[in-house]
Each structure stands twice: as structure tokens, then as C-alpha cells.
Amino acid sequence: MTLSQLEYIVAVDTYGNFSEASTHCFVTQPTLSMQIQKLEDELGILIFDRSKHPVTTTEIGEKVIRQARIILQEKNELHNVVENETGDFSGRLRVGVIPTISPYLLPMVLKSFTEKYPAVELLINEALTAEIVNALNKDKVDVGVLALPLNHPGIVEETLYHEPFIAYIPETHRLYKKESITVDDIDVEELLLLEEGHCFRDQALKICKSSERELCNKSSKVLFESGNLDTLKKLVENNFGITLLPYLAIQYITDSNQQKLIRKFPEPAPKREIGLVYNKTVSKLRLIKTLKEEILYVIPDELKEAEKTMVIH
């Protein structure tokens, strides 16, 4: 029995098929299948029922895989002990980030992190909140960066910062002449939204004191819903409506004409809580804590020190 064999059976259980598991383990599928067969022969059991599609785990196989996960976690913990003592960090950290955070936060933090910890391999996966939670539960990612709270059993949540929303308003709009706007100024019928599944969409509707039913009754002949905030931003610039953006997006709006379209909310401004999430049993806690330190290092002080009023959940 080898640690590699245990990693292979855990990967098949996680990904549901031999092909994807072999890709994840960086071996060929025949090699992975052969090693799993050797382990089954050694134990005298079948871990997987290969007659079913997708492959399923046998009853005794589930118990073996459960124990294999514990053994692999202890192996990782051994590396963590050494890293904590020596200060040297290495290995792979798989990070899931929601789309309304990744294009604004990642450029800020990745350069600093990779320069300080060149031996750490960061694997970034941009995904929706539900997909990140599912990946955490299946051990496909080690940590997620998303909007809180989740309130999922077994998942730890750590707050990073509170990010205000900003409005993006075209020159032809009635609100353009106002230096700042309030949530009561926004008419949901004019609001360009992300498509369903994005928590940013739900938060935007809550800010406007609206509901899905009101949205469905919009009188406009054109209803825009996008999976990309940059698309909504361009629509605003072409006078199709207004939208809300996260505060960190401001630093990437450098054109003077575009900067004129930004409107902030007066305090207490509506904010979203951004944080890290990971499983209680995660074995890469030191790396996760290091990532948290680097994020807090690059985040503007006003977001770390912001009052927790009007946090939109």
C-alpha cells in the first residue's frame, strides 16, 4: 500500500470517474487504474463498482476511502509542522473565487503572494458560490474567497473586509447630476443585473428594496442580465441603464470619462462582507492563513476599518 494509491482512490471518489481523477493526479488513466487494482488485490476487496456509470463506491470502499482521507490529511499535517518551524512554504493551494471578486482582488494579491512564496503553486478557479461550496465539500478546492455569510455546517468563515457598492450611471440619466446617490434614488426597472446564481445580483436587488417579482414586471422592452460585470459596465456607458459595481472595481476605471460615471453612496453605505471559507478538516491551514495575510496587506485600509453598517447579505 502506498500513499499514491490512497491519493488515487480518493481522487476517483471525488471526481466520479477514472479519467478526471487521473488528470487531477497527473498520471495516465491506465497507471491510475492499475495502481487501484493492485490496492484492491492487496486488501482483497472491491473499492469501486466499475459496472455502473458513473463509477460508484462499494460499501466497504466508502470506509476505506474515509480512512484514506484521514491518512492523507495527516501526511499534509506533517508537512505543515515542518513549514511552521522552518518558515518555508511549498505545495499547492487550490483557491475558488467568485467572479465579482476575482478580476479586482486577484491582480492586487497574486504578484505579492507569488514573490514572497515562490515555492507555493496557486491554482485559481473562478466559480459561483454554490460551485465553490460543492468543490470544498468534494475536496476540489482548499479555500474559497466569496461573499459571506454562508452558514454551512462544517465550513469555517473568516471575514476579510467590508466592500461598499458603488453606482455606475450614464451621462443621460436623471441621477448623473447628483454628486452622490441614496438607495432610494435607484429604480429597479433601470438596473442592469448579473444573471441568476450570482450573489451580487441578489445583493443588488436587496439594496433597491426590490424582489424577483418586481424584476419580472419590468416594463422595459430590453431586459439585460449578464454573467459579467464588465458587460454591464459597457452597457451603462452606452446609456442602456445603470448598474452597481464593487468598490475595488474603481481602481481599474482609469479613463476620465468613465470616472465621471461613478457615484458613491453616503455613509452608512451599503456594503458586502468578503471572507475566506474552508472546511474544518482542511490540512493546509497555514497556507490559508498566509493567503489571508496577503489579502489584508493589499486591501485599502478604508475597507478593513469600515463600519459594519448596512451589510447586505
At 93-125, the pLDDT tens digits run 999 999 999 999 999 999 889 988 888 889 999
Which is higher by pLDDT, 13 or 90? 13
Q: Say yes or no: 221 and 172 in one domain.
A: yes
How many domains does the structure of the chain reveal? 3
Contact 263, 183 (CB under 8 A): no
In this prediction, residue 166 carries a pLDDT of 95
In this prediction, residue 44 carries a pLDDT of 94
**Residue 254 domain-assigned (yes or no):** yes
The residue type found at 262 is I
Q: Say yes or no: 169 and 246 in one domain.
A: yes
pLDDT at 230 over 70: yes
The CA–CA distances, whole Å, from 91 to 75, 116, 156, 288 equal: 12, 14, 22, 12
Q: Say yes or no: 172 and 246 in one domain.
A: yes
Distance of CA 68 to the CA centre of its chain: 27
In this prediction, residue 119 carries a pLDDT of 87
Domain encompassing residue 45: 3-84
* Stretch 71-92: mean pLDDT: 71
Q: Say yes or no: 156 and 276 in one domain.
A: yes
**Residue 308 domain-assigned (yes or no):** no
Q: Say yes or no: 119 and 132 in one domain.
A: yes
| Element housing 165 (H / E) | strand 155-168
Supply the CATH number for residue 118's domain: 3.40.190.10
In this prediction, residue 129 carries a pLDDT of 94
* Stretch 67-87: mean pLDDT: 74
Domain boundary among 55, 84, 113: 84
If phi over 0 gives left and psi between -120 and 50 gives alpha, with beta otherwise, what is residue 149? beta
Q: Say yes or no: 78 and 12 in one domain.
A: yes
pLDDT band per the 50, 70, 90 thresholds, residue 219 = very low
Q: Say yes or no: 74 and 22 in one domain.
A: yes
At 124-169, the pLDDT tens digits run 999 999 999 999 988 889 999 999 999 888 899 999 999 999 999 9
**Residue 52 domain-assigned (yes or no):** yes
pTM above 0.85, yes or no: no
Supply the CATH number for residue 67's domain: 1.10.10.10
At 248-269, the pLDDT tens digits run 999 999 999 999 999 999 988 8
**At how many degrees (to 10) do helices 285-298 and 59-86 cross?**
60
pLDDT at 211 over 60: no
**Residue 313 domain-assigned (yes or no):** no
